[in-house]
Structure 1
Amino acid sequence: MQPERSNRANPLTERLELPLLGRLLYRVVYGSIVAAFTIVSLELLYAVLRPSPRQEEFDPSDIFGDPENPHLKVAVLGDSTVTAPGVGGPHEIWVTHICRRLTAGYFVELRSFAVGGSMAHNLIDDQLGPALDFGPDLVILSVGANDALKGVTPVRFEQNLDLLVSAFREQGAVVVQSGVGDLGTIPRLFPPLATLLSRRALTFNAAHERVAARHGSHVVPQRQSPVEVWDERHMWSDDLFHVSAKGHEVWGELGWRTVAVAMGLDES
């Protein structure tokens, strides 16, 4: 007669199985993280190293309007969103669109201090001093995309942006900030990197909003334009990274509305 088998689990077997399951779970999770990191890294390398045409950059500095009108000094600090590789000339840059509309009531002197590739700390180091010396009435800060793309922490970016805005507000200037649009719409980027940068851009745009709330400045509502607009190929230049003249038209319209509100002007 054979002894009955017990239905109870063997404690020794349980002790062996649990660590084994834990190791398997660890390997699955670790492998997934490594795979995701590898995919994102490869996509980033592809976006950076993918051949693209060299595009001329521009300085939009100029004077606009009737010298008999009140003199308005406009300073713009920023990155390639201002130097505008991919447009036909400085007359197509979004800040130029804004200055032309300001001529309804002002003689406008636009001075650009922008340098392509700049991040917020570059504006502090290289552009802030000369811009303060210029003594602007209106300041446009176009910065944030490179900080988001190049790994700057949102906290660090907000600290740098706060320093910039406060310096001009203490001098009495009206300040308009560019905000950060949806970086995931850049044609050179693909999921999951595009998705990751869309979320990261939201965080940096929120930093713009907080700084503006603290100092009484204004943020261009870039996200008011439907995201589908930026899916159109003609909105982007040949390098599939910078916006085209058509994209600058959209930025210019959104920027003008913000400047008009900031200065108490008629938006029409």
Structure 2
Amino acid sequence: MPGSEYLRYVALGDSQTEGLGDGDETGGLRGWADRLADRLAETSPGLRYANLAVRGRLASQVHAEQLGPALALRPDLATVVAGVNDLLRPRFDADEVAGHLEAMFAELTAQGALVATLTFPDITRITPLARPAAPRAAALNQRIRAAALRHGVVVAETSHHAVVTDPRLWSRDRLHASPLGHERIAAAVAHALGLPGSGDDWTHPLPSPAAVPSGWRAAAVELRWAAAFLGPWLGRRLRGRSSGDGRTAKRPHLLPVAVLPAGNRPGGPVDGRGEPAGTA
């Protein structure tokens, strides 16, 4: 049941769960799942945590590559978040993507894990050029809710709140959350799980409105973004490449999570060697 003590937390997913946008390759990626593990450890001091997520993975790849190892770790809590990479591909089948998610929900819950997932925001409010993805995200969200209901999966409804598309919650590439965005995602999942001390603060708007360029400045911003991020992304797609080629999970084993004061968590959970996760 939500709000219980957890001993084994396993995160499955793609780049968002891996932590892109929160930290870097040299200092270690953190991300919302690491931040959630921190929160869990405050009330579950024996918690061990594994993160199997790898950037660039489609829902079918998360299913094929991560479900088996996750089941072998016998989690009592698992998060499954995938599908954004599918949304951005030329061919998208909401039923197929949701089918892979539901298969993971089914097997993990059948083994006794509590599973949590989340819905996706309308990214066209962040990236106007991604307009074709809006109905895709809505269709996938609808199927995620239905599958979650069938299997008793906890859903953090991030799609319902305007703040999730505040540009300050997103990194410069507009595809990955910023550190503040990852913190909000962790808070959303903690709230959905009913963790002690969690609440709906994550739904509140930031104190001051974001500065939004207009006119030619807005056009210039879009052109710079397209050159810096959209172009390379499309180039990888045309070459049949992925940002995750050759990569493996940053934290494939269940390792203890150090409980640090809330204001003193620069590197996320530490691994079994006492080093920040993801630095190896």
Which bin holds the TM-score, normalised by the shorter protein?
A: 0.5 to 0.7
CA contact (8 A) 1:98 1:256 kept: yes
Q: Which has the larger radius of gyration?
A: 1
SS for the counterpart of 1:104 is: helix
What are the Cα deviations for residues 68-101 of structure 1, in whole angstroms up to 9, with x where unaligned? Answer: xx76100000001112222225574111222222
Partner of 2:120: 180
Tell me the residue number matched to 1:55. Answer: none
Q: Following the alignment from structure 2 to structure 1, what is the Cα–Cα distance between the partners of residues 29 and 73?
A: 22
The 8 Å contact of residues 73 and 138 in structure 1, kept in 2 or not, is answered as: yes
Select the residue among 83, 89, 95 that pairs with 1:144: 83
Deviations 1:125-159 (CA, angstroms, capped at 9, x unpaired) = 11011110011010000112112222330111121
Equivalenced residue count is 190
**Alpha-carbon distance change, 87 to 71 in structure 1, aligned in 2, over 3 angstroms:** closer
Shift of the alpha carbon at 1:185?
3.0
Question: In 2 relative to 1, CA 71–83 (structure 1 residues): closer, same or farther, beyond 3 Å?
Answer: closer
1:35-73 superposed Cα distances (whole Å, 9 cap, x missing partner) = xxxxxxxxxxxxxxxxxxxxxxxxxxxxxxxxxxx7610
Name the CA distance, whole Å, in 2 between partners of 1:226 and 1:249.
Answer: 16
Matched ranges for 1:240-259 at <5 A: 240-259=174-193
1:45-64 aligned within 5 A: none
SS at match of 1:152: coil
Query: Which residue pairs with 2:225 in the alignment?
Result: none
Retained in 2: the 8 A contact 1:144–1:179?
A: no
Which residue of 2 is the match for residue 225 of structure 1? Answer: 161
Deviation at 1:114, TM superposition (A): 0.5
In the superposition, the TM-score normalised over structure 1's length comes to 0.65
> Which residues of 2 match residues 191-206 of structure 1 at below 5 A?
193-194=130-131, 196-206=132-142
Following superposition, the deviation at residue 169 of structure 1 comes to 0.7
Letter in 1 for 2:88: L
Larger relative helix fraction: 1
Q: CA 1:99–1:155 in 2, change beyond 3 Å: closer, same or farther?
A: same
Runs of at least 5 residues in structure 1 that lack an aligned partner in the other structure: 1-69
3-state secondary structure, aligned to 2:177:
coil
Return the structure number with greater relative CO, CA threshold 8 A, min gap 6: 2
More displaced 10-residue stretch of structure 1: 119-128 or 92-101: 92-101
The letter of the residue matching 1:98 is L
Q: Which amino acid aligns with 2:188?
A: L
**After the TM superposition, which of the residue ranges 125-134 and 252-261 deviates more from structure 2?**
252-261
Give yes or no for contact 2:13–2:82 (8 Å, CA) kept in 1.
yes
- The CA distance in 1 between the partners of 2:198 and 2:178, in whole Å, is 24
Match of 1:103, SS? helix
| Whole-angstrom distance in 1 between the partners of 2:6 and 2:114 | 15
1:237 corresponds to 2:171: yes
Equivalent position to 1:95, from 23, 26, 33: 33
Tell me what 2:263 maps to. none
Percent identical residues: 28
Change (3 A) 1:137 1:225: same
Instruction: Tell me the C-alpha RMSD between the 2 structures.
Output: 2.1
Distance 1:243 1:186, change over 3 A: same
For 2:41, give the aligned amino acid.
T
> Aligned partners of 2:174, 2:109: CA distance in 1, in Å?
36
- Map of 1:166 onto structure 2: 106
The one-letter amino acid paired with 1:170 is: A
CA distance in 2, matches of 1:145, 1:133: 26
CA distance in 2 between partners of 1:163 and 1:134 (Å): 17
